Amino acid sequence: MNDITTALQKLFEGEDPSPKAHFTPEVNARLREAPYWESTSPTAPERARYADAMRLLDASQRASTRSQRITWLNKAADAFSASHASRAACRDRCDHCCHIPVKLSQAEAAFLGKAIGRAPTPASELSQTPWDQAPMSPCTFLEAGHCTVYVNRPAVCRTHMNMDRDDLLCRLVPGLDIPVPYADTRAFAFVSMHIAGEGEWADIRQWFPRAGSKAGVP
């Protein structure tokens, strides 16, 4: 099973949200609670923003060039984020998700590279280390709790939202895969794969390694 298949399986089947003996008591207590996100409802403006997101997502598939498709994809991602923001746990300087694997297509890596004036690692030079086995290391673009390419960040980052009441389940624990109630981004996954075509996929750290790191290694 390749990395993308594994990622899609996890996205569509979800994670087992039940308590585990190796989780902390605090995490297990949260997992036993009634889901917070099911007790909150989007406001009328948020529902309108979600509808906007779906229209923009459709536009991204009809655009004539790959660059235009990614531009519309990012616009759709921003509308999606706005439709969830008031109910999400995500806050300024909350950077747990900047330490987990971030899969990015070759097309989106090239789009990001052009925007920031830095060419991504050539696909032929990428490490064979699977993106989902990357260590819990900070994203190349994370500095002092802030994303240095925030305006140009990929759609996967724009739509990655924890819908719990706080960041408890996001907190990284080495060796543990704690289930987090992320916003449903399956529609974006489909469109991203459509835009990517036959290009390579890799972790953002592989496309853009930190200075001094070996090219293509997360």
Digit-coded pLDDT (tens) for 156-187: 999 999 999 999 999 988 888 899 999 999 99
Place of tokens 């990517």: 196
* DSSP structure class, residue 182: B
Strands (E), 38-152: 103-105, 142-143, 146-147
Mean pLDDT of 20-36: 92
Residue 63 has pLDDT above 80, yes or no: yes
Share above pLDDT 70 across residues of the chain, in percent, rounded to a whole number:
86
Q: For residue 12, give Cα distances in angstroms to 7, 88, 182.
A: 9, 20, 12
Contact 142, 98 (CB under 8 A): yes
Residue 82 lies in a domain: yes
Residue 217 lies in a domain: no
Residue 51 lies in a domain: yes
* DSSP structure class, residue 120: P
Q: How confident is the model at residue 1 (pLDDT cuts 50, 70, 90)?
A: very low
Q: How confident is the model at residue 107 (pLDDT cuts 50, 70, 90)?
A: very high
In the chain, DSSP finds a helix count (H) and a strand count (E) of: 8, 4
Buried b (16+ CB within 10 A) or exposed e, 32-53: eeeeebeeeeeeeebeebbebb
Residue 14 has pLDDT above 70, yes or no: no
Please state the domain count of the chain: 1
Residue 106 lies in a domain: yes
Residue 10 has pLDDT above 80, yes or no: no
What domain range is 45 assigned to? Answer: 3-207
Residue 114 has pLDDT above 60, yes or no: yes
Residue 215 lies in a domain: no
Residue 130 has pLDDT above 70, yes or no: no
Residue 218 lies in a domain: no
Residue 94 lies in a domain: yes
Strand partners, 162: 182
The average confidence (pLDDT) of the chain is: 88
pLDDT (0 to 100) of residue 175: 84
Residue 216 lies in a domain: no
